[in-house]
Amino acid sequence: MIVRPARSFLWVAPAIAAMAGIAAGQAAAAEIGAAGAGAAGADPLRDERAVTRIVAGALGLPAMAQPPGGPPAAGLVALGRRLFFDRRLSPSGTMSCGMCHIPEQGFTSQELATPVGSHGRSLRRNAPTLLNVAWVTPLFHDGRAASLEGQALSPLLAPDEMANPSADALVARLAADPDMRQAFVESGSEIAIDAVVNALAAWQRTLVAGGSRFDQWRFAGDENALTDEERHGFALFTGAANCAACHTVAPDHALFTDLMFHDTGIGVRADLAAASGLQVPVEIAPGRTVLVDRALVESVAEPRASDLGRFEVTGDPADRHRYRTPSLRNVALTAPYMHDGSLATLGEVVRFYASGGVPHAGLDPRIRPLDLAESDVLALVAFLESLTSPDVAALVRDARSVPVGNAGP
């Protein structure tokens, strides 16, 4: 495991790595993005199709709970897409929502365990994917937001994320642009913070990604949709490995999450690692680490920020180090894993749970050592890879259809 100081003394390295990842994402999407931006005006049905995804859903997913007033208007979806990639959501004009939730990277960030926030500082937690986020409640790893609208507001005002001094300051910055004022008019909204978060939430609800090969096999009756290895992985998932105890599968749909909070031992492991050893592995580039004397790190870094999970919301000691169960849909696209991004591959995740996690008093009793052969581990990974939706590429194209200008990555 790599111990990554929450405020690294070499924060320039993760910042450069993040920028490199964003540049890579831009390069990979250059053709898609250019074509999408050019096609945006020529495709008047783009936003109507996005709204249809909200209403129709996808194979394997339950019906989506709609916000008050029903599905959003197409104009609000268009505004939300535009805002999501606009760097003026940050006072410095350098950060957009899309810089931590990169479309080409599963709407998360794959280069770093935790993304870079304001002033180049590493954030405490991994950026969750936004694919199928409409079914997630409560939101954030600690469940501190009850709705997508509430979630959208939080990073805008958080000092370590967008760092806006106030909602009014953000609105005034957007209102200074005549084109942005017109975009709000076209959405049917006054330019105000409520419209900003409603629009961001509206577009995020369109990121519906179901219909995976697993769904075709499980819910559409296509016996050839999964390989023998993948079917064996699913049998382990729901049987001996007991993964489905938290990553639930219903008879007619599968969210692959119970939306509850559990202590898997990852939070405790991070605390133990921070308190031990004379050297700290510091990630200086994706997949590249060097050992640095702990005394040197502590002499130039801010104190390590604690992370007590759900406890920070409820104040209940029983919630220490508990984090919300993530959905496993499209999980092969959303590395690294766990709330702190400390596990790089699906194989590492499976082996962590098979080893019994990190034994301690608060460990969820469902986590225990498993007698899995290496072929079982590979079968579980193969099954998890079958949960990838064929719709993700279209969602990336939709995301990259934003107008050029102030749009960020």
pLDDT (0 to 100) of residue 405:
55
**Domain regions of the chain by residue span:** 12-210+391-399, 213-264+307-385
Distance CA 130, CA 295 (A): 38
Predicted TM-score (pTM) of this structure: 0.87
Find all residues with CB under 8 Å of 339, minimum gap 6, and list them: 125, 126, 141, 266, 267, 307, 309, 323
Distance CA 285, CA 274 (A): 21
Instruction: Please list the pLDDT of the chain residue by residue as tens digits (409 residues).
Output: 333 333 333 333 333 344 444 444 443 333 333 333 333 445 779 999 999 999 999 999 999 998 888 999 999 999 999 999 999 999 999 999 999 999 999 999 998 899 999 988 889 999 999 999 999 999 999 999 999 999 999 999 999 999 999 999 999 999 999 999 999 999 999 999 999 999 999 999 999 999 999 999 999 999 999 999 999 999 999 999 999 999 999 999 999 999 999 999 999 988 887 777 667 777 777 667 788 887 887 787 777 778 999 999 999 999 999 999 999 999 999 999 999 999 999 999 999 999 999 999 999 999 999 999 999 999 999 999 999 999 999 999 999 998 755 655 5
pLDDT (0 to 100) of residue 6:
36
pLDDT (0 to 100) of residue 407:
54
pLDDT (0 to 100) of residue 401:
93
Query: Could you check whether 12-210+391-399 and 213-264+307-385 share the same CATH topology?
Result: yes
What are the start-end ranges of the H helices in 41-73? 46-56
Kindly state the tokens that stand for 214.
């697993």
H or E element, residue 295 = helix 294-300
pLDDT (0 to 100) of residue 21:
42
Distance CA 52, CA 394 (A): 14
Distance CA 66, CA 79 (A): 18
pLDDT (0 to 100) of residue 13:
38
CATH code of domain 12-210+391-399: 1.10.760.10
Is CATH 1.20.1050.10 correct for 213-264+307-385?
no
Distance CA 341, CA 343 (A): 6
Distance CA 4, CA 304 (A): 9
Distance CA 85, CA 97 (A): 6
pLDDT (0 to 100) of residue 43:
76
pLDDT (0 to 100) of residue 408:
52
